[in-house]
Amino acid sequence: MDNGFARRKLLGILSASWLAQACYAVTRLGVPDLLASGPRSAADLAAATGAQPLVLRRLLRALGGAGVFRRTAEGYELTAVGALLRADAAGSLRDTALMDGEEVYRAFAEIMHTVHSGRPAFEAVYGKPFYEYLAGDPAAAATFHAAMGGAGVPASWRDCDLAGVGTLVDVGGGSGALLAQTLADHPELRGVLFDLPAALESAGSVLAGVADRVRLVEGSFFDTVPAGADAYVLSRVLHNWTDERAAALLGVVREAMPVGARLFVLEEFAPDDDGPVGAGLVDLLMLVTVEGYDRTGSEYRNLLVDNGFTVVESRPGGRPGVEGLIEAVRSA
Ligand SMILES: C[S@@+](CC[C@H](N)C(=O)[O-])C[C@H]1O[C@@H](n2cnc3c(N)ncnc32)[C@H](O)[C@@H]1O
């Protein structure tokens, strides 16, 4: 690699947060939604959003260079990439842009706190753990749960054979996106969405299409989980927690499970070695925001075995950013 290319690559990495914050700013202003029906001038967008016209033009120009907007004779329009910042886009990243631009960005600014203390920088910035903060800030909670729900349901889960499962409990299921898709895919299935109150706030609209087959239960999975169901799913939950805390919540889930009930764990598996480019980003996010970490497939399997489960099946997601699936049952 020649020195010029290496410099450009590193400068791209070093300035990535500038573009992310520019994306955040235009999203916070609602610009992507204003461009839904076609191109508009920067001056027109500035008038509609209350932004300084010259500032907005400079943001749009920078993001144009990054492929988020495109300049046309009539002004700026969304590219396919920028269209994902619209609230109504399939797989919208609007709420991710907002969360990343606010809480996540501030936490990353204090990454040296994590480096020296081993604790999430988030707690140093906001004075409390991530989920306690969400409990006290309904707007941030709504943004977080919408961002999580926008991620879509991994193929490893949609391909899963749920024949014989009457009731499925989604433990830490957020506002119900996975359950809504799963109940739509399996018309005979009934579901229970279990999470903290802040997550269930927005569940009503997410689950509206399957409301007659779903029950919402508030609580902490460190205390209790609805008992007696045929199957339980923990999607992107275990990676939020240390091994000790994960053991505690797995113990509560295990106690709630009848003999023969199935537990499904959906998580992105960290690579066994340094892995392909792109791996490790969510683990960085875990590092500064919560106390957990992304584990390899064998680390997740060991976590289950060490906590009284027998692993029945394990399938990796196949590429970075896609969750794999582990199925387990209670050990005798
Ligand atoms: C990373 S999110 C994953 C949400 C969802 N399962 C998904 O895959 O999109 C973790 C979830 O765990 C929930 N959670 C955190 N602490 C909890 C607790 N003590 N009891 C129940 N749920 C909790 C959060 O509210 C959040 O919905």
Q: Assign residue 41 the CATH number of its domain.
A: 1.10.10.10
Same domain, 233 and 121: no
Measure 290 CA to ligand 1 centroid, in angstroms.
Answer: 12
Distance of alpha carbon 53 from alpha carbon 43, whole angstroms: 5
The percentage of residues in the chain with a pLDDT greater than 70, rounded to a whole number, is 98
pLDDT, position 275: 61
Averaged pLDDT of the chain: 95
pLDDT, position 321: 83
Task: Look up residue 239 and give its two tokens.
Answer: 């990676």
Same domain, 174 and 59: no
Same domain, 205 and 116: no
Same domain, 174 and 260: yes
Q: What residues make up the domain containing 69?
A: 3-85
Distance of alpha carbon 73 from alpha carbon 87, whole angstroms: 26
Same domain, 140 and 230: no
**Conformational region of residue 327, where left means phi above 0, alpha means psi within -120 to 50, and beta covers everything else:** beta
> pLDDT, tens digit, for every residue of 233-262?
999 999 999 999 999 999 999 999 999 999
- Confidence band of 36 (pLDDT split at 50, 70, 90): very high
| CA 33, 37, 39, 43 torsion-angle sign | negative
Q: Is the pTM of this model over 0.85?
A: yes
Same domain, 141 and 81: no
Number of structural domains (the chain) is 3
**What integer is the mean pLDDT of 204-212?**
95
Q: Ligand 1, closest atom to CA 266?
A: 8
Query: Does the pLDDT value for residue 103 go beyond 70?
Result: yes
Domain final residue pick, 42, 59, 85: 85
> pLDDT, tens digit, for every residue of 9-32?
999 999 999 999 999 999 999 999
**Pocket around ligand 1 at a 6 A CB cut-off:** 131, 148, 172-174, 178, 195-196, 199, 220-222, 235-237, 240
pLDDT, position 308: 97
Same domain, 139 and 280: no
Same domain, 62 and 78: yes
Same domain, 298 and 233: yes
> pLDDT, tens digit, for every residue of 120-169?
999 999 999 999 999 999 999 999 999 999 888 988 899 899 999 999 99
